Amino acid sequence: MSTYLKQGWRLTIKHLPVAVALFLYRLLWGFFLYRYVDSIIGPLLRRYPGANEPSQGADALFWAEAQFRLMKTDLAQPFLWTLAALLLSRMIVTPLINAGLFYSIHHAAAGHEGGTLFLQGMRKAWKPVLLLYWAETLLAAAPLWWLGSRAWDVVRNGSSLQEIAVSILPWAAAWLLWIGILHLLSLSLQFGAVSRLKVSASVSGACRRLLPMAGLSLILLLFSGVIGAGFSAAAMGWAGLAALVIQQAYHLVRTLLDLWLLTSQYACWEDSRYIS
């Protein structure tokens, strides 16, 4: 594990400009999404009757009006279409970024000198990475309909929160495990796509290195959690601008950790190609 982490860190250092670009992309995406959601939720919250409302039926009237406007009018349609467009754009931009990043990591690991090949990778490897990313997303979301209906039945028939949690948590854990395994397999196929390997070779490498790649994920996710707790504690100690700077600095560090995880997983996957 330590060998892959060291190799991944060396590759991360070579891609510091890409890490800064990813940080800015996440920052802008989060800012505009927050502002859009706030523009929808803010006016609704200002209409909600407060605790000192003179009429005792104001709360029920508010929810009845909300249900009527949502179910009987097209009030929510523009917002739903906008959110769908944002989701679609995210599902297009993210695999493009992955294509450029994976391609650049592959060539940096092979000894390429000079700058990163991020933009070149976006042009050359976007098609297979886009298809694999969409396939992963569809397969990950496939059990949601069944899980949602089962969860609704449990919530409707459950007598206590503890009983509901005991019934739902095993299925939720199984779904998260399915997502994790699917992500590692898809990641290996995307590594193989930018390396121009056959699908069988990529899948074989993924199967041989599934547990080590999962171990790397757990190690760096735990490390990221510890770092995040430290930044949160530091932000609570200062107020105002200092807390904002600390929080944004954490997002930059988290981007570096995410990049470190990807490069370490690539080093682990690439090592499987040389194991018979």
Rounded percentage of the chain residues whose pLDDT exceeds 90: 19
Q: Provide the sign of the torsion angle of the four alpha carbons 66, 72, 77, 78, taken in this order.
A: negative
More confident residue, 241 or 267: 267
pLDDT of residue 258: 92
Cα–Cα distance measured from residue 192 to residue 182, given in angstroms and rounded to the nearest whole number: 15
Residue 81: what residue type?
A: W
The answer to whether 269 and 201 are in contact (CB under 8 A) is no
Q: Break the chain into its structural domains and give their ranges.
A: 2-48+59-270
More confident residue, 63 or 250: 250
| Residue where the block lists tokens 């927050």 | 34
Cα–Cα distance measured from residue 156 to residue 161, given in angstroms and rounded to the nearest whole number: 11
Cα–Cα distance measured from residue 125 to residue 121, given in angstroms and rounded to the nearest whole number: 6
More confident residue, 119 or 156: 119
For residue 210, pLDDT beyond 90: no
Question: pTM to 2 decimals?
Answer: 0.82
Model confidence band, residue 95 (pLDDT cutoffs 50, 70, 90): very high
Radius of gyration of the chain (CA): 23
Cα–Cα distance measured from residue 273 to residue 133, given in angstroms and rounded to the nearest whole number: 22
| Across 8-17, 62-71, 217-226, least confident range | 62-71
| Residue where the block lists tokens 């290195």 | 209
Cα–Cα distance measured from residue 257 to residue 234, given in angstroms and rounded to the nearest whole number: 19
Per-residue pLDDT reduced to its tens digit, 107-117: 888 877 767 88
Per-residue pLDDT reduced to its tens digit, 134-166: 999 999 998 888 888 887 777 777 666 777 777
Residue 49 phi/psi, 5-degree rounding, is: -65, 140
For residue 276, pLDDT beyond 80: no
* DSSP per-residue letters across 184-195: HHHHHHHHHHHT
Residue 48: what residue type?
A: Y
The answer to whether 266 and 191 are in contact (CB under 8 A) is yes
For residue 274, pLDDT beyond 90: no
Instruction: Tally the C-alpha atoms within 13 A of residue 218's C-alpha that lie toward its C-beta.
Output: 9
Helices 210-237 + 199-208 axis angle, to 10:
70
Instruction: Tally the C-alpha atoms within 13 A of residue 131's C-alpha that lie toward its C-beta.
Output: 6
Contacts of 113-116 with C-beta under 8 Å, sequence gap 24+, read 115/17, 116/14, 116/15, 116/17, 116/18
- How many residues in the chain? 276
Per-residue pLDDT reduced to its tens digit, 23-59: 998 888 888 888 888 887 777 777 777 655 555 666 6
CA 127 to chain centre: 21
Name the CA dihedral angle for 212, 216, 217, 220, rounded to a multiple of 10 degrees: 170
Which one, of 269, 261, 195, lies nearest residue 5 by Cα? Answer: 261
CA 7 to chain centre: 24
Which one, of 193, 218, 212, 86, lies nearest residue 135 by Cα? Answer: 193
Q: How many CB atoms lie within 10 A of CB 20?
A: 13
pLDDT of residue 159: 62
